[in-house]
């Protein structure tokens, strides 16, 4: 397993696309921090990068990589190796690369310009989202043999989680606005890793508004150590669940 | 003018006391308790209290005397009743420490209670663990200067205020430090007051509270970490200058709450990191100029019940929401403010943006009507909606706009610290 991971790692690290992605993130972060007078504002802009671009790039890259390395995968499958070992090894290699790129592109600038709790939470959210969307990409990739359909599926995942989900939840809230929905909203947040990451960062960032009387509910729930444990746990579930599903599908799959 | 009046007052009392007798009080002196000292004293005398602890129990000072402590002697009320009760005009209390009044609701137990006495001076006094700190009723022209009042209020219902005024005129409250009470400073039916350079910190309810108190002036005060900030209600002709409102956080917390305030002026104040920096309800003809609003949840909540308020040359920087309102009726006026969120341009380089700024975003209207949508803050969908709304306003009131937004922030000095 370690050997496969090593090969995947070396293969991706030699890949120019990932290097470009890392440098692109670095340029964005550095320019945001140097353009804005107030580093907190740069963090707000970085937050939208982390919430929108990071999942998108992570997903597209992972899906493409999976299909491009299909021959290597077939070669491995011919060896006396367990299927889930192969898939997990590939996942670990790929997600490690994505996380490394993110840490290089965003983690280092944050460490230089904004080394505090908010920065740490932002970087943590980014790492978790990278892991989570790599897992989603694997789920999309193992579901279909066709590359175009696989990429289409992962784009659909991204589109749903990043944009559609909020619109749907907003519609639901609008329809049921006469009811006390404050607590249910916490559940809605847990059902989408992007929202969960956003709320976790916001509770540190927009603290004045979040102390307001509805914000206080999230503050109460997510603000203390139980909330941090809860959100980390749910994030971990969002990594493990798609990964587990893809392993299951992959094990039964007719290659 | 005001300062001169005080100067003369001090001078006058100084001359007066030069001819007066001095009564020494200490544990080993001839007179070892305060009751006897006050009994023996005549108008114009000085009672000097040496360092030590003295038990008092609602000690009434009904003569025009000066009560002066040497290095803060402790006057302990032993949780029995009030501390000192001043009923004579022109009493001066200086450099003592009053402790441990009774707590309860039968009476407003206070460290120093001034009842129906004019021209009283309380200065350099420490009051610890009192129900009410200094309580003035029916007393005019008092000076409360440089005192420290620290309470340990457990909750709002069983605690009193730091400095409380009831039916007073021309009272000056300067350079006091108040914390751990229910309200830091509370004015009820108090007119012509002057509140300057005070610090009101970590009080349970309001740092400063006004009710039916017209024509008051407060400047250079600092209000931080109070339960619900500062509340000013049912008053007119209030002037607020260079005050600092910091970190009044919580689910019902305001930097300053204005309810039914008329003809007042709010100038050069600093509002930083409050949940709601400035809240207006039913207020009219209030002029808000040259203030800075920074890093607040809501910089300004302006309900539709307000009219003819004007907001000029303020800074709105890094607030989550700049302005929010609850309806489409809007009768107030914004002009030449600096809005950090402004995205317009300035072609003719006169430092004033060429397109008007609409400070109320669609999202802030939504949050006002459905508070739980705060869940979507900074999400992509909200950005989309705000952009769409900016170009084609439909929900936001169309006439909430600053027709001449400034391109650069004003540089105002940070207020009192």
Of A59-68, A205-214, B406-415, give the lowest mean pLDDT range: A205-214
Task: Please tell me the distance from the alpha carbon of residue A242 to that of residue A132, in angstroms, as a whole number.
Answer: 8
Contact list, A209 vs chain B (CB under 8 Å): 275, 296-298, 320-321, 374, 377
Give the CATH number of domain B2-328; options: 3.60.15.10, 3.30.420.240, 2.160.20.10, 3.40.50.2300.
2.160.20.10
CA B39 to chain centre: 38
Task: Report CA A5 to chain centroid distance, whole Å.
Answer: 20
Q: Parse chain A into domains and list their residue ranges.
A: 2-252
pLDDT tens digits for range B207-249: 999 899 999 998 999 999 998 888 999 999 999 999 999 988 8
Distance in angstroms (rounded) separating the CA atoms of residues B152 and B313: 40
- pTM, 2 dp: 0.84
Q: B88-99 burial string, b = 16+ CB within 10 Å, else e?
A: bbbbbbebbbbb
| Successive 10-residue mean pLDDT values, chain B, 417 residues | 55 55 88 89 92 90 93 90 92 93 86 94 94 94 95 82 94 95 94 94 92 93 90 94 90 89 94 92 94 92 92 92 87 93 90 91 85 83 85 80 92 60
Chain B positions in Cβ-Cβ contact with residue A221 (cut-off 8 Å) = none
Torsion of CA A117, A122, A123, A125, to 10 degrees: 120
SS3 B258: strand
Interface contact A48, partner B, CB < 8 A: yes
Distance CA A186, CA A188 (A): 5
Which two tokens mark B193?
A: 């007051």
Neighbours of B69 (CB within 10 A): 24
B302's enclosing H/E stretch is strand B298-302
Q: What is the pLDDT of residues B276-308, one digit of tens each?
A: 999 999 999 999 999 999 989 899 999 999 999
Residue extents of the structural domains in chain B: 2-328, 361-396
Predicted confidence at residue A63, as pLDDT, reads 95
Put simply, whether B395 touches A (Cβ < 8 Å) is no
Q: How far is B253 from chain A (nearest CA, A)?
A: 8
**CA–CA min distance B206, chain A (Å):** 17
Indicate the average pLDDT of chain B. Answer: 89
* ipTM score over 0.90, yes or no: no
pLDDT of residue B416: 42
Of B75, B63, B70, B146, the C-alpha closest to B112 is B75
Least Cα distance to B44 among B67, B71, B75 occurs for B67
Hey, what are B417's tokens?
A: 């610290």
Q: In this structure, how many other beta carbons lie within 10 angstroms of the beta carbon of residue B405?
A: 25
């Amino acid at each position: 397993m370690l050997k496969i991971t090593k090969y995947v790692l070396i293969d991706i690290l030699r890949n120019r696309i990932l290097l470009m992605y890392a440098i692109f993130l670095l340029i964005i972060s550095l320019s945001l921090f140097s353009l804005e007078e107030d580093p907190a504002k740069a963090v707000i802009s970085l937050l939208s990068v982390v919430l929108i671009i990071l999942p998108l790039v992570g997903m597209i890259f992972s899906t493409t990589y999976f299909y491009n390395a299909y021959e290597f995968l077939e070669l491995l499958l011919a060896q006396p190796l367990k299927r889930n070992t192969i898939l997990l090894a590939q996942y670990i290699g790929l997600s490690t690369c994505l996380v490394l790129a993110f840490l290089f592109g965003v983690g280092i600038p944050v460490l230089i310009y904004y080394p505090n709790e908010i920065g740490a939470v932002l970087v943590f959210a980014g790492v978790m989202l990278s892991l989570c969307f790599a897992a989603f990409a694997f789920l999309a990739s193992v579901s279909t043999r066709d590359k175009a359909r696989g990429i289409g599926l992962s784009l659909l995942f991204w589109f749903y989680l990043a944009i559609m989900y909020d619109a749907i939840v907003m519609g639901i809230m609008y329809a049921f606005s006469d009811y006390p929905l404050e607590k249910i909203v916490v559940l809605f947040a847990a059902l989408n890793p992007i929202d969960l990451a956003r709320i976790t960062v916001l509770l540190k960032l927009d603290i004045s508004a979040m102390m307001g009387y509805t914000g206080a509910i999230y503050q109460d729930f997510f603000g203390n150590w139980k909330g941090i444990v809860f959100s980390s746990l749910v994030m971990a579930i969002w990594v493990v669940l798609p990964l587990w599903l893809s392993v299951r599908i992959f094990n039964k799959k007719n290659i | 003018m005001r300062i001169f009046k005080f100067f003369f007052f001090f001078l006058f009392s100084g001359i007066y006391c030069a001819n007066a007798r001095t009564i020494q009080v200490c544990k080993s002196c001839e007179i070892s308790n305060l009751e006897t000292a006050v009994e023996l004293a005549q108008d114009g005398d000085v009672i000097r209290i040496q360092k030590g602890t003295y038990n008092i129990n609602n000690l009434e000072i009904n003569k025009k005397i000066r009560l002066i402590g040497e290095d803060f002697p402790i006057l302990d009320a032993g949780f029995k009743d009030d501390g000192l009760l001043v009923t004579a005009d022109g009493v001066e209390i200086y450099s003592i420490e009053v402790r441990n009044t009774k707590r309860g609701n039968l009476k407003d137990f206070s460290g120093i209670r001034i009842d129906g006495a004019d021209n009283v001076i309380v200065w350099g006094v420490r009051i610890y663990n009192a129900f009410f700190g200094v309580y003035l009723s029916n007393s005019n022209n008092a000076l409360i200067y440089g005192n420290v009042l620290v309470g340990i209020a457990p909750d709002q219902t069983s605690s009193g205020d730091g400095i409380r005024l009831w039916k007073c005129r021309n009272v000056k409250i300067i350079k006091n430090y108040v914390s751990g009470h229910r309200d830091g400073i509370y004015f009820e039916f108090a007119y012509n007051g002057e509140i300057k350079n005070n610090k009101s910190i970590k009080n349970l309810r309001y740092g400063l509270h006004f009710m039916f108190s017209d024509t008051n002036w407060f400047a250079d005060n600092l209000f931080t970490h109070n339960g619900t900030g500062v509340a000013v209600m049912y008053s007119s002709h209030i002037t607020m200058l260079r005050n600092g409102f910091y970190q009044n956080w919580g689910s019902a917390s305001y930097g300053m709450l204005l309810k039914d305030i008329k003809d007042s002026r709010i100038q050069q104040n600093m509002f930083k990191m409050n949940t709601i920096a400035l809240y207006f309800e039913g207020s009219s003809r209030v002029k808000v100029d040259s203030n800075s609003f920074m890093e607040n949840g809501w910089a300004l909540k302006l309900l539709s019940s307000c009219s003819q308020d004007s907001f000029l040359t303020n800074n709105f920087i890094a607030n989550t929401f700049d302005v929010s309102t609850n309806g489409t009726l809007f009768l107030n006026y914004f002009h030449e403010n600096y809005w950090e969120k402004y995205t317009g341009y300035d072609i003719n380089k006169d430092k004033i943006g060429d397109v008007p700024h609409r400070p109320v975003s669609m999202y802030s209207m939504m949050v006002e009507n459905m508070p739980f949508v705060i869940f979507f803050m900074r999400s992509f969908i909200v950005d989309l909606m705000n952009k769409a709304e900016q170009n084609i306003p439909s929900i936001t009131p169309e006439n909430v706009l600053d027709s001449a937004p400034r391109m650069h922030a004003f540089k105002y000095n940070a207020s009192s610290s």
